[in-house]
């Protein structure tokens, strides 16, 4: 496309397009406008449009070219009256002033006066390739809520903005008639302009007519990998074949089909990210999702599918097979006929309500007995017979009773005893070689992640019970918030010890001996440990402010009596009201302590891997692309080539794969083959913590940066894990995370410290928040407002 003004481009296209219509417009030269009076301007404009609302827009020479884009650089004024001379004149001169600000004084500059599309049902921007990588996707950023035609380009209405990725050449998989018509118009525009690299502003009206406002060339092509498209083609075919097999019924697993998700159950996207490197992903698989999850749930009395890893990898992106999760939430003694019905119902529920993908334990499945169990079972009235419902209820009760009473292999006490054994184990020296690494991995699983998985399930049971007691009127939401704040976890110890470190009450050596293993990216070898960086050197803590002391929650006589009655009615003979409250506190604290301990082993594993890499001449960067099993295999086998050469080949291969992993777009929830090619970004509903409100500037953290001053800021974190607990030693105003569920690590932390938070706001909202300077986080009404 040659360097023309916007108006010239649109007028040139007007008679060549069938799919798109272009709203009627006139363009007036900037110099002519400066000499035109308000009355003469109104006369000229009304002669063309009559009495119509207009948009007054920029049309600067060189505004957009193949080398540069000035999208949004100049003013646009909407809903200007064609009959009001002063309003027209003022709007036109605001556009002219925006040229001067950008020092664009070309004699060919114009101002567009164009008919407003008033009945817009959807508007937005389409990029015909992904901007950063050049991946062959149509990327549609759209607003189908506000009715505005500039909400996407102006960056307003963040709750309305959505994104759809469509792999090029697969538009036939679209099901929505509005997108079918839109993409037909886009394809025609590409043919007319003889270009597949376009940036298009559009709207669709109530009659599904696409309107074209602007088209400009994409200007980031010089940064793209030209061979990427062919690699993505082959990879997506492989993913399609894989999910086709995975969605079929499988031997020994309940349920006719499944849903794959990045945030259900063990929420890998929160912990290792959407596109993790090979080492991080493989460690997460080996330590947790291959076997530990299943061993733990079996010990607690749950039904588990044998020999099935919970997490699968699609082009390197981690997904949980929710059919396996739902299977493992069922009591072991439940008849298979009933189990099949329940798994099918829960998979169906998730397909119908994908926004619940990070809340399946609370909003989709029934994973434990609770005091609102009958209300939950009512939702299954069309699924289970009366006899099956009664049986399921009783088996859940029999599963839950010994867990609350501390009886059996799946108790909190037994899990903590194993964790304490791990504490007592001396950490293998980094120079203990391959044997030391094997020992670290073995101990981490048997004494770390397996008991932690037990403790994590107890944590979910505790929260489910507490929620049910709110439903039954025993506790209020405020009571639960107070109870959670009173639970002393390892994060409280860290917060207190950080203050003690700052005021000199404890030494740096003492502090690091306990917390030095923590790193903000638990599975990321490139994320430095606390004892490897000056994490706290730049922090400015308020030493004059006394650490807030939270009293332990205690139930009042009315609550005790009501709870005892509920327990007696359900034949919980071995536990009373006080015991149940203590169980919930112990479950929540135990989960956090177990996580803290086993991450010490993971940190040691990463340091051991880094040391092995150093011995073979590979950097941490290179080792981050070596899967753990490949490393163990190469280091313990005779391969016919030097170990260094073999490891470097593996690293280079997976580094290339990671580029592909990052470029491929997959939905957070995948339930059919079409989702491989047509990818809506799920608008997640955040999990709001506390009922407080914060209004503050934002600061974004990642796992590889040093610690900035966070006082009074709303902190944004993508993948939150225990290594970020240092932020709670500073008086932050609030927290927003991209990933995370209602019972995730950061949700518990914020409840403990009374910090307003939006946990798991999803990719769309998080990206909008990143562009902000100031945010209002109102948890009481469940709202995130971007001010600027």
Number of H helices, E strands in the chain: 27, 21
Return the H-helix or E-strand segment holding 123: strand 120-127
The closest alpha carbon to 776, from 786, 768, 766, belongs to 786
| From 458, 499, 625, 745, active-site residue | 745
- Tell me how many degrees the CA angle 581-586-589 measures, rounded to the nearest 5: 125
> Helix or strand or coil: residue 64?
strand
| Chain position carrying tokens 């769309």 | 764
Using the 8-state DSSP alphabet, how is residue 545 labeled?
S
The closest alpha carbon to 269, from 755, 629, 684, 608, belongs to 684
Catalytic site includes residue 251? no
Q: Per the structure block, which two tokens stand in for 224?
A: 């793209």
Contacts 24+ apart (CB under 8 A), 393-400: 393/369, 395/331, 395/333, 395/334, 396/331, 396/366, 396/368, 396/369, 397/369, 397/570, 397/571, 398/331, 398/333, 399/300, 399/301, 399/302, 399/331, 399/332, 399/368, 399/369, 400/368, 400/369, 400/461
Burial of 307 (0-12, 13-18, 19+ CB in 10 A): exposed
Helices 628-635 and 643-663: angle between axes, nearest 10 degrees = 170
Q: What is the Cα–Cα distance from 782 to 689, expressed in whole angstroms?
A: 9
Q: What is the Cα–Cα distance from 16 to 97, expressed in whole angstroms?
A: 33
Q: What is the Cα–Cα distance from 717 to 270, expressed in whole angstroms?
A: 10
Is residue 509 within 8 Å of 531, Cβ to Cβ? no
Q: What is the Cα–Cα distance from 427 to 675, expressed in whole angstroms?
A: 45
Q: What is the Cα–Cα distance from 252 to 431, expressed in whole angstroms?
A: 44
Is residue 318 within 8 Å of 311, Cβ to Cβ? yes
Interior/surface letters 701-711, b for 16+ CB within 10 angstroms, e for the rest? bebeeebeebe
CA distances from 485 to 491, 544, 552, 689, 783 (A): 12, 22, 8, 12, 23
Is residue 730 within 8 Å of 541, Cβ to Cβ? yes
Helices 433-444 and 577-615: angle between axes, nearest 10 degrees = 160
| DSSP-assigned states of every residue in 561-627 | HHHHHHHHHTT-TT--HHHHHHHHHHHHHHHHHHHHHHHHHHHHHHHHHHHHHHHTT--HHHHTTS-
Length reported for the chain: 788
The closest alpha carbon to 417, from 394, 439, 446, belongs to 446
Interior/surface letters 201-223, b for 16+ CB within 10 angstroms, e for the rest? bbbbbeeebbbbbbbbbbbbeee
The closest alpha carbon to 737, from 749, 289, 587, belongs to 749
Q: What is the Cα–Cα distance from 30 to 87, expressed in whole angstroms?
A: 17
Going 26 to 29 to 33 to 36, the CA torsion angle's sign is negative
Identify the bridge partners of residue 261 per DSSP, sorted by sequence position.
Answer: 320, 669
Largest CA distance in the chain: 91
Contacts of 83 (CB under 8 A, 6+ apart): 42, 46, 51
CA distances from 369 to 356, 383, 394, 471 (A): 20, 18, 9, 14
CA distances from 220 to 9, 66, 127, 336 (A): 21, 9, 11, 55
State the catalytic residues: 745
């Amino acid at each position: 496309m040659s360097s023309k003004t916007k108006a010239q481009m649109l007028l040139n296209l007007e008679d060549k397009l069938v799919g798109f219509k272009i709203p009627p417009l006139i363009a007036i030269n900037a110099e002519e406008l400066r000499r035109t009076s308000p009355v003469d301007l109104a006369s000229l404009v009304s002669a063309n449009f009559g009495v119509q609302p207009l948009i007054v827009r920029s049309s600067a020479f060189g505004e957009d070219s193949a080398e540069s884009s000035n999208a949004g650089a100049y003013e646009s004024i909407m809903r200007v009256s064609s009959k009001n001379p002063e309003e027209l004149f003022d709007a036109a001169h605001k556009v002219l002033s925006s040229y001067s600000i950008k020092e664009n004084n070309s004699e060919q500059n114009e101002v567009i006066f164009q008919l407003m599309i008033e009945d817009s049902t959807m508007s937005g921007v389409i990029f015909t390739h992904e901007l950063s990588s050049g991946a062959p996707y149509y990327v549609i950023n759209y607003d189908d809520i506000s009715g505005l035609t500039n909400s996407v380009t102006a960056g307003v209405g963040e709750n309305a903005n959505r994104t759809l990725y469509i792999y090029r050449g697969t538009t036939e998989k679209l099901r929505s008639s509005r997108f079918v018509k839109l993409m037909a118009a886009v394809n025609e525009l590409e043919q007319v302009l003889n270009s597949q690299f376009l940036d298009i502003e559009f709207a669709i009206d109530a009659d599904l007519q696409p309107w074209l406002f602007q088209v400009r060339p994409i200007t980031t092509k010089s940064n793209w990998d030209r061979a990427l498209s062919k690699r993505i083609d082959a990879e997506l075919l492989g993913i399609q074949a894989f999910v086709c097999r995975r969605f079929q019924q499988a031997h020994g697993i309940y349920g006719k089909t499944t849903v794959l998700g990045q945030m259900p159950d063990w929420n890998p996207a929160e912990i290792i990210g959407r596109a993790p490197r090979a080492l991080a992903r493989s460690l997460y698989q080996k330590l947790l999702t291959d076997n530990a999850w299943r061993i733990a749930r079996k010990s607690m009395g749950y039904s588990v599918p044998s020999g099935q890893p919970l997490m699968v990898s699609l082009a390197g992106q981690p997904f949980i097979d929710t059919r396996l999760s739902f299977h493992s939430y069922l009591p072991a003694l439940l008849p298979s006929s009933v189990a099949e019905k329940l798994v099918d119902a829960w998979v169906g529920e998730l397909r119908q309500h994908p926004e619940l993908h990070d809340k399946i334990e609370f909003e989709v499945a029934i994973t434990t007995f609770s005091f609102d169990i009958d209300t939950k079972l009512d939702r299954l009235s069309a699924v289970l017979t009366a006899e099956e419902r009664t049986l399921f209820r009783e088996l859940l009760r029999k599963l839950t009773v010994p867990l609350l009473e501390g009886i059996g292999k799946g108790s909190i006490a037994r899990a903590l005893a194993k964790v304490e054994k791990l504490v007592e184990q001396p950490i293998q020296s980094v120079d203990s070689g391959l044997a030391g690494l094997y020992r670290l991995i073995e101990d981490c699983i048997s004494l770390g992640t397996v008991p932690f998985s037990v403790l994590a399930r107890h944590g979910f049971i505790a929260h489910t019970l507490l929620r049910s007691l709110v439903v039954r009127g025993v506790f209020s939401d405020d009571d639960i918030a107070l109870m959670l704040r009173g639970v002393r976890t390892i994060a409280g110890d860290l917060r207190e010890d950080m203050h003690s470190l700052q005021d000199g009450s404890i030494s740096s050596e003492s502090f690091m001996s306990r917390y030095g293993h923590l790193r903000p990216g638990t599975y990321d070898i490139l994320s430095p440990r606390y004892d490897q960086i000056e994490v706290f050197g730049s922090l400015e803590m308020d030493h004059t402010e006394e650490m807030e002391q939270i009293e332990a929650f205690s139930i009042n006589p009315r609550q005790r009596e009501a709870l005892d009655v509920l327990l007696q009615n359900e034949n919980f003979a071995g536990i009373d009201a006080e015991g149940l409250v203590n169980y919930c506190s112990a479950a929540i604290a135990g989960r956090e302590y177990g996580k803290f301990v086993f991450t010490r082993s993971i940190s040691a594993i990463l340091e051991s891997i880094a040391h092995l890499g150093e011995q073979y001449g590979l950097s941490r960067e290179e080792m981050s692309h070596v899967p753990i099993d490949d490393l163990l295999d190469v280091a313990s086998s005779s391969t016919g080539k030097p170990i260094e050469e073999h490891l470097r080949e593996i690293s280079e291969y997976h580094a290339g794969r990671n580029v592909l992993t990052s470029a491929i777009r997959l939905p957070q929830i995948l339930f059919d083959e079409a989702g491989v090619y047509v990818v809506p970004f799920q608008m997640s509903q955040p999990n709001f913590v506390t009922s407080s409100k914060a209004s503050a500037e934002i600061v974004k953290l990642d796992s590889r940066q040093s610690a900035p001053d966070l006082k009074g800021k709303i902190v944004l974190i993508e993948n939150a894990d225990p290594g970020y607990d240092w932020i709670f030693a500073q008086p932050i105003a609030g927290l927003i995370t991209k990933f995370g569920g209602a019972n995730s690590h950061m949700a518990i932390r914020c409840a403990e410290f009374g910090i307003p938070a939006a946990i798991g706001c999803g990719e769309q909202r998080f990206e909008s928040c990143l562009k902000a300077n100031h945010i209002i986080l109102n948890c009481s009404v469940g709202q995130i407002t971007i001010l600027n």
